[in-house]
Amino acid sequence: MTLDKPYVSGHFTPVTDEVTGRDLKVRGTLPPELNGRYFRNGHNPKPGITPTHWFRGEGMIHGVRLTDGRAEWYRNRWVRTPFLDGVPFTGTELDVSAAATNIIFHGGRYLALQEANLPWEVGADLDTIGVYDFGGKLTSAMTAHPKEDPQTGELHFFSYSPFPPHLTHYVADASGDIVRSQVVDGAGPSLMHDFAITREHVVFIDSPVVFDHAEHSGIPYRWHDDVPLRIGVMPRAGGRTSWFEVADQAALLHVAGAHTDTRGRIVLEAPRFDRSAWESSWKWWVGAPGYGTSPDAGSTLHRWTVDPATGKVTTEPLNDLVTEFPSINDARTGSAHRYSYAIAFPGAGLSGYHTVKFDSLTGKEKLLAHGEGRMPGEAVFAPAAGGTAEDDGYLLTIVSDFKADASELLVLDAGDLSTVAAVELPRRVPAGIHGHWIPDSELPA
């Protein structure tokens, strides 16, 4: 393998095999209520393969099973799709997927997701089961960032395409059956990676990063100065989508959360890329000359407030730290949240990688430095037993220690970011993308 691209070197250096480790060493004390599985997906190209873009590496899921205060096992497995066997992705075969972006649990199924393709189902031990199309009801791709309503159990997701129809919205009920789908009018051929829901609305993001044949990295999208950022607002029950243009051009990859305030305005929080931050980050993602030292070259947390009554959108910077991979307590999905968590990348006065907690009420942040040569992943929230406050819980993140050639699963107190426990993993885990905590209480009887 040619390790001359940033996404297959350093913290992102792929592992070459699948292993299983049992009865893992734990420093500190694992909270007894953490009974379940932490699964994290990411790109891990096979030996001998260097993809043309970070997002095109084959998918590998890393899992840790916690039970009764023990770390029972760790295992890593490639998602065994045709893409892993060398079948090229052409955009027409929906089952040819890297399946490398996210993994969720819904309707009794673990689904590995990549937004240009159908989901791939894996088992509780990460063995691949096969492509999944919701019983034939899903005939297009599925976003890697679906939103599960914590009150109804509904799963909202979408399919986007460079070709009409550009955007389709889906709803699956708590058992995993698709009960509604609708083409969303007015959407453009943009790279729509994430979206949001509120209690009343579905919120779409149409960015200036649009389909472009001239982009040859394997991900055919580029920034266009003549395309504005637009926010689409659709009623949760379906119907017409209203599109609101944002005066300040920007792109969004991941959403922290959204809600509808008491005045009927839609409030959205997310890291914001301006053109410079996007194009500099893209250089890292494709390994172009002049790429920086980390995957994120400047996105910062912002808030957008959409007023349907006036048609105006206001943009407000919330912090100047370079952050991405935001998360919240999933129980707040669709409702107002006070706290969000993210990876803070080097820059804006920081050296090294940090886990950061934002307080949207006070505007303050709390930082946890991970030390030289150590990179954390996305912080996944797990609720504490009997918790009442929004941040009563734990953050789970795999930290890659490249110098020590080792990794550990950290369990942090979501209140003050102190370390509750650290599970020593039997190998270095490459830096990855997204994951979820799946408690045993969510599993079918």
Spatial separation of the C-alpha atoms in residues 192 and 143, rounded to whole Å? 9
Sheet hosting strand 257-260, strand order edge to edge: 257-260, 266-272, 300-307, 312-317
Spatial separation of the C-alpha atoms in residues 294 and 445, rounded to whole Å? 43
Q: Residue 368, SS3?
A: strand
Q: Strands of 273-416 (E only): list them.
A: 300-307, 312-317, 323-327, 339-344, 354-359, 365-369, 374-376, 380-383, 393-401, 406-413
Spatial separation of the C-alpha atoms in residues 21 and 25, rounded to whole Å? 10
Q: Residue 445, SS3?
A: coil
Q: How far is the CA of 336 from the CAs of 282, 307, 323, 363, in angstroms?
A: 32, 16, 20, 15
Identity of the residue numbered 24: L
Domain range list for the chain: 1-106+370-444, 145-337
Each residue's pLDDT, cut to its tens digit, for the chain (445 residues) gives: 344 899 999 999 999 999 999 999 999 999 999 999 999 999 999 999 999 999 999 999 999 999 999 999 999 999 999 999 999 888 778 999 999 999 999 999 999 999 999 999 999 999 999 999 999 999 999 999 999 999 999 999 999 999 999 999 999 999 999 999 999 999 999 999 999 999 999 999 999 999 999 999 989 999 999 999 999 999 999 999 999 999 999 999 999 999 999 999 999 999 999 999 999 999 999 999 999 999 999 999 999 999 999 999 999 999 999 999 999 999 999 999 999 999 999 988 899 999 999 999 999 999 999 999 999 999 999 999 999 999 999 999 999 999 999 999 999 999 999 999 999 999 999 999 999 999 999 998 7
Do you find a cis peptide bond into 165, omega within 30 degrees of 0? Answer: yes
Cite the annotated binding site by residue number.
145, 193, 254, 434
pLDDT given at position 92:
78
Measured in residues, the chain has a length of 445
Cite the annotated binding site for Fe cation by residue number.
145, 193, 254, 434
H or E stretch at 284: helix 275-286
pTM beyond 0.85: yes
Spatial separation of the C-alpha atoms in residues 13 and 345, rounded to whole Å? 18
Q: How far is the CA of 14 from the CAs of 82, 114, 201, 235, 256, in angstroms?
A: 19, 19, 40, 43, 28
78: how many CB neighbours lie within 10 A of its CB?
A: 18
Q: Please, what's the largest Cα pairwise distance for the chain?
A: 59
Q: Are 148 and 155 in contact (CB under 8 A)?
A: yes
Sequence-ordered list of residues with C-beta below 8 angstroms from that of 147, at least 6 positions apart, any chain:
155, 156, 157, 195, 196, 197, 333, 334
Tokens 């990348």 map to which residue? 345
